[in-house]
């Protein structure tokens, strides 16, 4: 069953609170230190974890203490106060050279990209033009990569988050005094369509780093999904608040009713492979179907796993289509570029998701009309699905002027060794 993580954030979310919750849930601090050392910035900070109490409740506080050259640091949530600065390209290079676990690398890069997009939007520039204080801060690198390392260590495949409190008041940042939520956080709320509310606490509760982690990784916001809880991790913030300043991480497995007729008849011991994919979505109401078909072709050529459209009704009762592209994270940028270039869209939503797939093998069989590739799906060593490739069947059917079904039948017959 899928391993699920749920962040309950009654007093908001920040990078160090995420780290504290993960360590409290069992992630060894020494493991985090060892892997973070691969980034090559170990001389810039010290990482430590300690038990603390917040309104009488015990939790784990993880601190990223900057060394002398980076000592202008405001602990806990105000990471955008740090003076260390780097461009996004520098951050990406640091992560890529570290040779981290693949899932950690993909998630970390995605979080920084999302954060950079929000900052760039706020300042009216492209990502490449903006010199980021928040993105480049040493503690932000440690918080984001450390969080991804912790989630990977716990084998969390699906991640959800509660609704987030807005906070209030003002804070001082690199660009002066700002209202809370600060502009980058507000933009991230918009980008992720995050449900928010006021808990009456007039302080900064959600930081740009924390918002970027939640918006990028969470598959949904709101009530926790059905799960059997195995572990709870409590991550403490630095501020003293009217309620315990603690982020609670629930770790468990997907729950299913034991007396369900459906589940009792389904074999759940299917062996699958989990991978991370990017899902791009955009709504269009002013584009020719011919252009959409052409765009489909380009997206598949660019490496899209799947592309599909759904009819929808948009504002002012206009008929439109919801265009969805599924691709590997490394193909996201080129697929987005195709959508912006070939369609009339002005915005694209993107999210990282996990998908479970069967192991598959491509085999070739011979029929009286020619060779046909056959896709074979496996669960462990057990074959679960056999399907001749559509294009091969179509090509031979046209070439020999027979039905597609005839070629398809002969391909299956050949694969199974039937006369």
Whether the pLDDT of residue 67 is over 90: the answer is no
Residue 130 clears pLDDT 70, i.e. is over it: no
Contacts of 8 (CB under 8 A, 6+ apart): 162, 224, 247, 248, 249, 250
Give the pLDDT of residue 255. 65
Q: What percent of the chain has pLDDT over 70?
A: 90
Lowest mean pLDDT among 116-125, 154-163, 186-195, 265-274: 265-274
Banded pLDDT at 265 (limits 50, 70, 90): very low
Q: In the 8-state DSSP scheme, what is residue 225?
A: P
- pLDDT (average), residues 148-172: 94
Question: What domains lie within the chain, and their CATH numbers?
Answer: 3-254 (no CATH), 276-356 (3.30.70.1380), 359-416 (3.10.20.300)
Identify the band that residue 76 occupies on the pLDDT scale cut at 50, 70 and 90: very low
- Lowest model confidence (mean pLDDT) among 73-77, 135-139, 334-338, 354-358: 73-77
- Predicted local distance difference test score (pLDDT) of residue 354: 82
Mean per-residue pLDDT, 178-205: 93
State pLDDT tens for residues 95-105: 999 999 999 99
Compute the half-sphere exposure of residue 329: CA atoms within 13 Å on the CB side of its CA. Answer: 21
Residue 259 has pLDDT above 60, yes or no: no
pLDDT the model gives residue 75: 42
More confident call, 175 vs 417: 417
Closest CA to 276 of 350, 226, 375, 221: 350
DSSP string covering 314-362 = -GGG-EEEEEEEEE-GGGHHHHHHHHHHHS--S--EEEEEEEEE-EEEE
The answer, yes or no, to whether residue 80 has pLDDT greater than 50, is: no
Give the pLDDT band of residue 256 (cuts 50, 70, 90).
low
pLDDT band for position 226 (50/70/90)?
confident
Per-residue confidence (pLDDT) for residue 137, from 0 to 100: 76
Residue 69's pLDDT is 58
Q: What is the mean pLDDT of residues 225-245?
A: 93
pLDDT tens column, 323-350: 999 999 889 999 999 999 999 999 999 9
Give the per-residue pLDDT at 264: 46
Residue 78 has pLDDT above 50, yes or no: no
Q: Read off the pLDDT band of 73 (50, 70, 90).
A: very low
Lowest mean pLDDT among 50-54, 148-152, 185-189, 381-385: 381-385
Sign of torsion over alpha carbons 184, 190, 195, 201: positive
**Does 365 score more than 70 pLDDT?**
yes
**Measured distance CA(182)–CA(172) in Å, rounded:** 10
**Is residue 268's pLDDT more than 90?**
no
pLDDT, average across residues 232-237: 97
Choose among 398, 401, 409: nearest CA to 367: 409
Which of 76-80, 196-200, 233-237 comes out lowest in average pLDDT?
76-80
Burial of residue 318, with CB atoms counted within 10 A of its CB: 0-12 exposed, 13-18 middle, 19 or more buried: exposed
**pLDDT digit string, tens, across residues 8-65:** 999 999 999 999 999 999 999 999 999 999 999 999 899 999 999 999 999 999 999 8
DSSP 3-state of 116? helix
First to last CA, the chain: 41
Mean pLDDT for the chain? Answer: 88
């Amino acid at each position: 069953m899928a391993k699920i993580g749920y962040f309950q954030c009654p007093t908001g979310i920040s990078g160090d609170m995420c780290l504290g919750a993960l360590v409290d849930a069992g992630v060894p601090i020494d493991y985090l230190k060892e892997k973070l050392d691969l980034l090559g910035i170990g001389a810039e900070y010290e990482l430590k974890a300690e038990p603390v109490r917040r309104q009488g409740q015990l939790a784990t506080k993880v601190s990223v203490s900057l060394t002398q050259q980076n000592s202008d640091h405001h602990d806990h949530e105000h990471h955008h106060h740090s003076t260390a600065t780097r461009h996004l390209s520098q951050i990406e290079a640091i992560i890529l050279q570290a040779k981290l676990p693949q899932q950690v690398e993909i998630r970390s890069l995605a979080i920084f990209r999302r954060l950079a997009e929000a900052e760039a939007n706020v300042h009216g520039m492209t990502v490449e033009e903006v010199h980021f204080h928040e993105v480049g801060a040493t503690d932000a690198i440690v918080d984001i990569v450390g969080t991804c390392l912790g989630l990977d260590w716990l084998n969390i495949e699906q991640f959800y988050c509660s609704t987030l409190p807005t906070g209030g008041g003002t804070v001082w940042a690199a660009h002066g005094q700002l209202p809370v939520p600060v502009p980058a956080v507000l933009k991230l709320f918009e980008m992720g369509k995050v449900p928010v509310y006021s808990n009456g606490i007039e302080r900064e509760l959600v930081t740009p780093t924390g918002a970027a982690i939640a918006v990028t990784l969470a598959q949904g916001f709101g009530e926790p999904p059905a799960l059997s809880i195995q572990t709870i991790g409590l991550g403490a913030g630095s501020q003293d608040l009217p309620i315990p300043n603690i982020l609670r991480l629930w770790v468990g497995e997907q729950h299913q009713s034991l007396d369900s007729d459906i589940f009792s008849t389904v074999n759940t011991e299917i062996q699958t492979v989990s991978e991370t994919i990017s899902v791009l979505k955009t709504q269009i109401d002013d584009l020719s179907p011919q252009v959409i078909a052409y765009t489909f072709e380009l997206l598949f050529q660019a490496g899209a796993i799947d592309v599909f459209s759904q009819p929808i009704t948009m504002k002012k009762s206009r008929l439109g289509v919801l265009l969805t592209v599924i691709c590997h994270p490394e193909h996201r940028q080129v697929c987005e570029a195709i959508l912006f270039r070939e369609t009339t869209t002005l915005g694209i939503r993107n999210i990282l998701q996990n998908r479970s797939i069967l192991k598959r093998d491509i085999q070739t069989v011979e029929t009286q009309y020619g060779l046909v590739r056959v896709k074979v799906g496996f669960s462990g060593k057990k074959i679960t699905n056999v399907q001749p490739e559509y294009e091969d069947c179509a090509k031979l059917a046209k070439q020999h002027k027979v039905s597609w079904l005839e070629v398809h039948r002969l391909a299956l017959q050949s694969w199974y060794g039937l006369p």
